[in-house]
Structure 1
């Protein structure tokens, strides 16, 4: 079923203008009815327990194109009617159809995002996500689009970090680690997780945001911030607490702190690049703070160790 593209022309004479108005109204009604028919076909039934079938499934390419074209034409019809015939009964019909369409696209967006990490055809997924995002945003549903992205991707990022061994670090946990004999094992887990988090987890998330929201820089930065900021800040809580608690306990963890410092320092360019935007710059600032604290602590520990070695040497002499 073809969707007619809406065109609006202005006639110079009164009779021509009247004829054009009737023709335009008729065209609007036809387009709304045509769009409604296609949109209702994919209406989400909240009471249905049937398996979800995506419009963007590889075998539904034509259906996906028809659906998006219908939404686009419906949006143009709504804009025309709101400017030329606000009392038209077709406005309420169009608004209802638009709400149904957006509900469907929210579900599609959520599902594709959920499947993204398990789908090897990332190019196709990103292309579909971008189409959905641009359609929702252009139709005035940016808030809903951002909300779905945040909820879906933040949980994915948090789960990925958890699988790497990153915990919700607290003072009491780190204190137990420092006084335990297996501190080195905990540090090794963090060092490995940190490398993967920066190079893979956050890097891939940045790539996804940049491509899905390529036409909307503000939304792109907001979505990346929403999905990664909390996890990234928590990541740097580990070395931060190590320094603070070691200082208080006067624990000898010189080599642990050296390893932490070197790891963060090595990833500094990537950290600065990933978290450069103002909305998420707090992550970059925390990384800088960690390096400063670790560096100061390493120098202090090294001086103390040299003093102890010198004192020991003098005693034996």
Structure 2
């Protein structure tokens, strides 16, 4: 039996109290004939409802053992609903026109029996149809009718077959969705009937209890638990990373399926009352929604200055919430659940601040790097790989970073930027491309640091080779990533030109003494003694240059081959002409093989083995010495222990002025 004390409208109080609490049902003609006829009809309605309603009264002798009315026979369920609604109309009429009617007390008792039955049906449908009412099924509904299938039945005296009812419940959806729509239709008609009869509290209580447990269980299965701040702050970042990854997946399911499904179900079942809809959804979803969006805020607050590498997880969180924001606004639009929206917005704001802090820390990390260790052979520095990997990864988040950087304009030296950046990049900044300028700035800061690293090499040629290798890596990274779209072709052209300039400077610094050891092209013919001196000078210069450069590295295959060809084109033809012109004049010399050690073809072989990091040479013909790492001492002794020194003015500090500008710019902030 329904709890009589909970019903304000239909209680066990006196008839006068009952009469005063009911509103007028309808306005009828005041003639005695009409009143008598209407009263008779209403009393007959009460009598007709008695047999049907009492059939489902557990205390009635005629009570059927069938547990569920709606699952037993939908025709009887429709008839029961019709009787309850007719009974309500009859009671309204009797209260307004014939409050002393003996049938009014009977109608009240029947109504209490009917409400008790519907309360049990409502609870049972909610409990036994979890599969049809799970959020995924509900949120997947392509359309949910705003009217119950029972409404059509109330307007007609003809019963319809169950297949027709099912068809009406969901004509345009799948069989699974039809079953879901049918269950929702049952809940809606019961809820509307109970609420209209003044028994809304009993209905709402069951709904909140069951649906809240489903939402809480759903979040638990998604791995979302209530976070305690003290415990969270002690959690290691290595533990947080998989938590964040799981949260991103869980949040999408939670918002688009779990909460969306609950909102659709709540709106459908309680479509007759916006107040009840809001109250139910608040009880079901408010606490769960706050638990869901607590983690991003805690992550953003965890460290005042998070390390740069944290930025990607922070941006993943920011992106996830931003993508879900339209759904969040629609689902949590009630004032009572505004706390969920507020928390989501707060998380976005705090994540923005943390992301910008990471960017600032990244730039600072580059500038503060003071390691003096040099890379063997002028190869690619570890800082180059990590920096460009980081910047390349940042470019994949260009939309997020553009939104964040728009609120944090780059404080910069305009004159320096204008001298370094191309005009299109600066103009694009005004078209929401602040990310292009910022990433280009970060690369500039790094290139200045790279120039400082190059100064650590004692050999000028190795400094240039170091710049060649590392700038080549920078350019390749830009060209092969999303950075190309952000920085543009002009940026690549400019840095390709800088790269070629460094390569040319390397040739000059590394091979200048070799080029200078050959005689200039003049009409003057050298004497045999002068030719012997030139051969000796050339051999000494070449062997020294080779021994230095054979330990150097060029990682890019194309650039390596281009540089070898460039050196060979400058050196081999000149030496071949000298060799062929003066070798005949020295045929009579003793130990000619020691004097003229290299044939022109040998030079090409030696040059082809350069830039692999080790001198990979095979012994040449009898006219040349065997030069390898194992024979280095022999080579040195053959030169009498003398060392040829290359003196080339250092000019590789191309970014020196820029470095000073950056330092001054940072100090003035």
Q: For this structure pair, what is the TM-score category when the shorter chain's length is used for normalisation?
A: 0.7 to 0.9
Which whole-Å deviations, capped at 9, do the CAs of 1:50-106 have from their partners, x for residues lacking one? 98722211x511110110011011111211121123333332222222122112212
Shift of residue 252 of structure 1?
A: 6.6
What secondary structure, in the 3-state scheme, does the structure 2 residue paired with 1:127 have?
Answer: helix
Alignment match, 2:320: 263
* 1-structure distance, mates of 2:200, 2:303: 47
Closer, same or farther in 2 for the Cα pair 1:313/1:269, shift >3 Å? farther
Alignment match, 2:532: none
Correspondent of 2:289 among 216, 229, 232: 232
Range that drifts further, 303-312 or 284-293: 303-312
Which whole-Å deviations, capped at 9, do the CAs of 1:178-230 have from their partners, x for residues lacking one? x1633222112211111100111111112212322233333333322322111
Larger RCO: Structure 1 or Structure 2 (Cα < 8 Å, ≥ 6 residues apart)? 1
Which whole-Å deviations, capped at 9, do the CAs of 1:266-315 have from their partners, x for residues lacking one? 11111112112323222112111110001111111221132123201576
TM-score, reference length from structure 2: 0.42
Closer, same or farther in 2 for the Cα pair 1:66/1:126, shift >3 Å? same
Q: Is it true that 1:87 corresponds to 2:100 in the alignment?
A: yes
Correspondent of 1:10 among 29, 40, 57: 29
Instruction: Note the aligned Cα RMSD (angstroms).
Output: 2.7
Alignment match, 2:80: 67
Closer, same or farther in 2 for the Cα pair 1:7/1:237, shift >3 Å? closer
Q: Is it true that 1:216 corresponds to 2:273 in the alignment?
A: yes
Correspondent of 2:311 among 254, 261, 278: 254
* 2-structure distance, mates of 1:300, 1:7: 69
Shift of residue 36 of structure 1?
A: 2.4
* 1-structure distance, mates of 2:251, 2:270: 27
* 2-structure distance, mates of 1:22, 1:42: 31
Q: Is it true that 1:160 corresponds to 2:179 in the alignment?
A: no
The structure richer in helix per residue is 1
Alignment match, 2:181: 123
Q: Is it true that 1:148 corresponds to 2:167 in the alignment?
A: no
Closer, same or farther in 2 for the Cα pair 1:30/1:7, shift >3 Å? farther
Contact 1:8 1:24 in 2 (8 A): no
Q: Is it true that 1:36 corresponds to 2:50 in the alignment?
A: yes
For these two proteins, the number of residue pairs brought into alignment is 301
* 1-structure distance, mates of 2:36, 2:78: 29
Alignment match, 1:308: 365
Return 5+ residue gaps in structure 1 as ranges: 1-5
Contact 1:246 1:252 in 2 (8 A): no
Return 5+ residue gaps in structure 2 as ranges: 1-24, 133-175, 374-452, 454-669
Closer, same or farther in 2 for the Cα pair 1:44/1:191, shift >3 Å? farther
Which whole-Å deviations, capped at 9, do the CAs of 1:94-127 have from their partners, x for residues lacking one? 2222122112212222222234441231111111
Alignment match, 1:284: 341
TM-score, reference length from structure 1: 0.85
Range that drifts further, 235-244 or 88-97: 88-97
Alignment match, 2:299: 242
Q: Is it true that 1:98 corresponds to 2:94 in the alignment?
A: no
Closer, same or farther in 2 for the Cα pair 1:272/1:20, shift >3 Å? closer
Which whole-Å deviations, capped at 9, do the CAs of 1:10-60 have from their partners, x for residues lacking one? 354xxxx1x554444443333223212211222256xxxx98722211x51
Contact 2:300 2:351 in 1 (8 A): yes
Shift of residue 9 of structure 1?
A: 5.1
Contact 1:38 1:67 in 2 (8 A): yes
* 2-structure distance, mates of 1:262, 1:255: 10
* 1-structure distance, mates of 2:40, 2:330: 53
Closer, same or farther in 2 for the Cα pair 1:44/1:175, shift >3 Å? farther
What secondary structure, in the 3-state scheme, does the structure 1 residue paired with 2:369 have?
Answer: helix
* 2-structure distance, mates of 1:94, 1:246: 68
Which whole-Å deviations, capped at 9, do the CAs of 1:140-173 have from their partners, x for residues lacking one? 2223322222112111111111111110111133
